[in-house]
A = this chain, B = another copy of it.
């Protein structure tokens, strides 16, 4: 390997300080497409679906920046994702026509369809939570997927602001379109005040398992996650982690913060329990750098992405 090549590959941090070089996710190599990859790291800098505070369009860049703090091996689990799998940062699923929500979603879907066509699995970094819908449209194949969904909000809402496609509704639509099997969807960390007495009625009616944060506080995260995994079963799943699942002390930089959320010890523990599952794709969404303080949210978002990568990459 030549010197020049080395500069484009994952730096060996024993020699190369972490503050150097272009910021890619985890300082992984850049690839022009998902061809030849097992896992494609993708930014989705789109926040056209937000209903309150914007800014997640700046998420992928800042999560990349903070992800330089990650190293190559997971000390807690022994996972070595860059050794177990071919992983690269394939850039952003950016949107050419951002002023119209459903068209923007079509652009995002097309990008992820290419990833799937290349035989790779995607680990996406939002952007707002509306992006999970076009990703699921691209990834869900012949049969609906199950889902582990860690979030403060069930995101199974109805029309808002004249649109069905905002960041509070992706999973209702995904069920409606047959992309998700609600009987294999578990939602964990749900909390916060509501506009309607039954804002997440669709979750309950469709048969999803909803685990509120109060249950998690009472029973502990291990028991709750074990229940969720049992509910979802061993089939193929999608994993969606909304950073607002964390308490705002851990994730102030997000559009819809809700007091009383998860700690990072809980969140990391829960993601690690996904090891061995058949994960077809995953996202970590809703990091909004303009509302962040000192990069804490982006750093925690990068950490969650690293834990997701570890359970997706196979190996130890």
- Which residues from chain A sit less than 8 Å from chain B, CB to CB? 4-5, 7-8, 12-24, 30, 32-33, 43, 45, 47-49, 51-55, 57-58, 60-61, 64-65, 69-76, 78, 80, 89, 91-92, 94-101, 103, 160-163, 165-166, 190-197, 199, 212-214, 217, 247-250, 252-253, 256-257, 259-261, 263-265, 268-269, 288, 290-294, 296, 299-300, 303, 306
* Bound-state Cα–Cα, A32 to B8, Å: 7
| Docked-complex contact A212 and B17, CB < 8 angstroms | no
**Are B20 and A290 in contact (CB-based, < 8 A)?**
no
The complex is assembled from copies of this chain, and their number is 6
Pair A217/B265 contact, Cβ less than 8 Å: yes
User: Could you tell me if B264 and A268 are in contact, using CB atoms closer than 8 angstroms?
Assistant: no
**Chain B proximity of A308: nearest CB distance (Å):** 13
In the complex, what residues of B have CB within 8 A of residue A4's CB? 32-33
Pick from A54, A71, A89, A199 the residue with the most CB of B within 10 Å.
A54
Chain A contact residues, majority secondary structure: loop
Besides A12-B195, A193-B306, 12 new A-B residue pairs in contact (Cβ under 8 A), listed by A number? A17-B98, A22-B24, A22-B91, A52-B69, A53-B290, A72-B194, A75-B193, A75-B212, A76-B214, A217-B265, A247-B249, A261-B264
Q: Which B-chain residue is minimally distant from A48 (CB atoms)?
A: B99
Please determine whether A19 and B53 come into contact, CB atoms closer than 8 angstroms: yes
**CB-based nearest B residue for A7:** B91
Q: Which residues of B contact A48 (CB under 8 A)?
A: 99
| A8 partner residues in chain B, CB cutoff 8 A | 32
A257 contacts which chain B residues (CB < 8 A)?
Answer: 69, 299
A300 touches B20 (CB 8 A): no
Measured CB to CB, the nearest residue on chain B to A158 is B14
Q: Which residues of B contact A18 (CB under 8 A)?
A: 51-52
Instruction: Tell whether, in the assembled complex, residue A23 and residue B99 are in contact, meaning their CB atoms are under 8 Å apart.
Output: no
Q: How far, in Å, is A256 (CB) from chain B's closest CB? A: 8
With A22-B23, A22-B30, A75-B191 given, is the CB distance from A264 to B249 under 8 Å? yes
| Complex contact B252–A260 (CB within 8 A) | no
The verdict on A57 contacting B54 (CB below 8 Å), with A291-B294, A294-B293 known, is: yes
